[in-house]
Structure 1
Amino acid sequence: MRPVSLVTGATGIVGSHIARALEQSGHAVRVLVRPGSDQRALSDISADVVEGDVMRPDSVLAAAQGCTWVFHAAAVFAYDGDRAHAQAELAVQGTRHVLHAAQQAGVRRVVVTSSSVTLGSTSSPQVLDESAVFADPQPAAYVTSKVRQEAVAFEAARELGLEVLAVCPTLVMGARDYRLGPSNASLANYLNDPLRSTFLGGCNVVNAEDLARAHLLVAQHGTPGQRYVAGGENLRWEALHALVSELTGTFGPALRLNHTAAYLAAAYVEAAARFAGRRPFVSRDEARMACRFYWYSSARLQALGWTARPARAVLSEALAWVIDRGHIADSVRSRLKLCPELEARHS
């Protein structure tokens, strides 16, 4: 009989790729999805779909019955303040519910999808690893929610006698992102920006398929109580945006925004969005973060045999998805001259 694994958050880019990787590795896959949720990301997976919600403990317990592993990837990934309460509730209470259900159902091991932001960031180029202690000034609500989630997960693991491990991805980019999360959206925002603005800080990017493989490796070979950074190349934002311009055959980056300029621009975007009754495409929290360095080492995960594709390949796949899904304005798309590797993915 094939082992059964439960995935929460399986309709999102991270959870759906975990579910797909599990199926490809021979696992029977069960996914917990909210009633009425968009399940397009699961269309090619033969998963046992169970309707429920991590905020409803009874539904999580029912879904966890008979499972060997649980992958908890459910999250509200957003930087607009409107969803801060939902983020915190899902990160803290949702995680508690999942871990208690896993323990009651006799699950052996739970892998929690955390975030590299729990390690913190730096004001100058420095590479952090899992030993880093979070001490960021003015953290965004999303960042705070992930820090709290990690603390709750490991505390509950000790209380319940459960094997819990955390995977800490960097900026996750790739295909099947039907909701267009902030990471892929940052590429669309750059191309749609007539000024092709860039920022002073730096980031790290990882492909969603590579991240899914990281989750399986951690489940198979990881040490309980440990967190594992899953990231690829560390890049300055200016270098990343220059690579995006090269891949799409366009100009830029043309304008480098310092912290103050980025913050003021985001404040204007937020005010205009509120006036128009829509969500802003960028927030002040994101502006603050873009001028810091989120550079990390994945040496601990690499010791388990994990590898990540280079940034160029990560961006090629993500850009093809963003363009194919119509997230680039027609007036901009018509002027792009996609490089051969991107054209091949796009077509």
Structure 2
Amino acid sequence: MIALVTGANGLIGANLCRALLKDGYEVRAFVRTSSDLSAIKDLSLAIVYGDVLQPETLLPAVAGCDVVFHVASVFSYWGITDDDLEKTAVDGVSNVLIAARTASVKRVVLTSSSVVFGSSSYTAVRSETDAPDETSSPAYCLSKLHQERTALKLAADLDLDLVVVNPCMTVGPHDTKLSPSNGIIIAYLSDPFRTTFPGGCNIVSATDVARGHILAAEKGRRGECYLLGSENMEWSLIHRTVGELCGVSGPQFYANHTISFLAATAHEMWAQFSGTRPTTTREQAKMVGQFYWYSHAKAADELGYAPGPARAALATAIASLVAGKHVSIPLRQTLSLGREVYDARAALMKEAP
């Protein structure tokens, strides 16, 4: 079986490539010429250069493939305009589906997001039947919603076999660019006030999300969406768990929506002055107080999806982050990593190609 993975160098893409190779797939990694390939450089796969916004580069990439995993997207709340978010999401998926149909690809799996099913201001668990409030959703969330709607309609028009997966907050190794999901760990560890805030999200391992993609490709029903998550947690519990795993105190300070927005504004101002990326943004602050809680029951029942606990996912993510470039030496010296993190690090080293 030959599989093409767009965005193969990203967090989900790199973990998906590893899972596919482990299952015996022949993998083609579709990446831009400017991409950092350090997350997949040691894997036995074929690198195909191109861009989902350049249709002519997709046709040779999909030729002969049995399945295409369209993972490439912009997951960011900073440094990109709303129009560019929308263009990459909508035009990108349209180009991939048309190329797949032209090449008679048997199935396409689209990586969407759990945010397309919205959030709640209270501790409600949402499913694939729910919808977001489009009047208040951040631009990134809307771009993923429009991407998914476009994909489902176009696939139906093209008579193309499409399955959609909707990962929740995905944390884990092989994240060269530091995605916003792993960024929540760094933000807390870097915060001298050890701040938490209201609301919560669903934390899931990148390894489990990768496995969910393959299950969707092999067992998913055409035209269906599957949430890929693990445990729903309040932010205070997430931050406390990160603290326990890293031997740091807290949370010590509880920030409401207003304080979070003001703090994010200050982070953005400093980022513009220093030329760095902010650890939090005003777009993210708008999401404070909301519960992005979801059920993966459909994926469990129909695909056999069985994710591990969120604490283990956080431990593995921390093990990878502290060994990489995203944690500075001064910050690393303030941490006292727990046994779970060291065990996770040993497991990562054992699995390395």
Q: TM-score range, shorter-chain basis?
A: over 0.9
The letter of the residue matching 1:117 is V
Q: Answer whether contact 1:192 1:329 (CA < 8 A) is retained.
A: no
Counterpart of 2:192 in structure 1 is: 194
Q: Answer whether contact 2:134 2:142 (CA < 8 A) is retained.
A: no
Counterpart of 1:254 in structure 2 is: 252
Q: Which moved more, 1:168-177 or 1:39-48?
A: 39-48
Counterpart of 2:165 in structure 1 is: 167
The letter of the residue matching 2:183 is A
Shift of 1:32: 1.1
Selected match of 1:277 from 275, 278, 282: 275
The letter of the residue matching 2:241 is L
2: CA distance, partners of 1:278 / 1:147: 29
2: CA distance, partners of 1:280 / 1:29: 35
1: CA distance, partners of 2:324 / 2:158: 44
1: CA distance, partners of 2:217 / 2:181: 25
1: CA distance, partners of 2:345 / 2:228: 26
1: CA distance, partners of 2:134 / 2:49: 37
Selected match of 1:228 from 226, 230, 247: 226
Please, which runs of 5 or more residues in structure 1 have no aligned partner?
Answer: none
Shift of 1:137: 4.2
Q: Alpha carbons of 1:78 and 1:339: their partners in 2 closer, same or farther (altered >3 Å)? A: same
Selected match of 2:6 from 5, 8, 33: 8
Counterpart of 2:44 in structure 1 is: 46
What is the number of equivalent residue pairs in this alignment? 345
Shift of 1:72: 0.1
Residue 291 of structure 2 aligns to a residue in which SS?
Answer: coil
Q: Alpha carbons of 1:66 and 1:310: their partners in 2 closer, same or farther (altered >3 Å)? A: same
Selected match of 2:291 from 279, 293, 305: 293
Q: Which moved more, 1:202-211 or 1:38-47?
A: 38-47
Please, which runs of 5 or more residues in structure 2 have no aligned partner?
Answer: 347-353
1: CA distance, partners of 2:95 / 2:336: 49
Counterpart of 2:351 in structure 1 is: none
Residue 39 of structure 2 aligns to a residue in which SS?
Answer: helix
**Does 1:19 pair with 2:20?**
no
Counterpart of 2:266 in structure 1 is: 268
Shift of 1:344: 3.4
Residue 40 of structure 1 aligns to a residue in which SS?
Answer: coil
Matches within 5 A, 1:1-347: 3-80=1-78, 82-303=80-301, 304-346=303-345
Task: Name the Cα RMSD after superposition.
Answer: 1.3
Q: Which moved more, 1:284-293 or 1:327-336?
A: 327-336
Residue 136 of structure 2 aligns to a residue in which SS?
Answer: coil
Residue 296 of structure 1 aligns to a residue in which SS?
Answer: coil
Identical columns (%): 42
Q: Answer whether contact 2:75 2:180 (CA < 8 A) is retained.
A: yes
The letter of the residue matching 2:310 is A
Shift of 1:321: 1.3
Residue 7 of structure 1 aligns to a residue in which SS?
Answer: strand
Q: Which moved more, 1:44-53 or 1:240-249?
A: 44-53
1: CA distance, partners of 2:81 / 2:22: 34
Residue 89 of structure 2 aligns to a residue in which SS?
Answer: helix
Shift of 1:273: 1.8
1: CA distance, partners of 2:91 / 2:80: 19
The letter of the residue matching 1:93 is D
Q: Alpha carbons of 1:75 and 1:273: their partners in 2 closer, same or farther (altered >3 Å)? A: same
Q: Answer whether contact 1:207 1:314 (CA < 8 A) is retained.
A: yes
The letter of the residue matching 1:80 is W
Shift of 1:132: 0.3
Q: Answer whether contact 2:201 2:232 (CA < 8 A) is retained.
A: yes
The letter of the residue matching 2:267 is V
The letter of the residue matching 1:121 is S
TM-score, normalisation: structure 1:
0.96
Q: Which moved more, 1:111-120 or 1:268-277?
A: 268-277
What whole-Å deviation, never above 9, does each CA across 1:32-64 have from its counterpart, x for those lacking one? 111132111112321121111111111111100
TM-score, normalisation: structure 2:
0.95
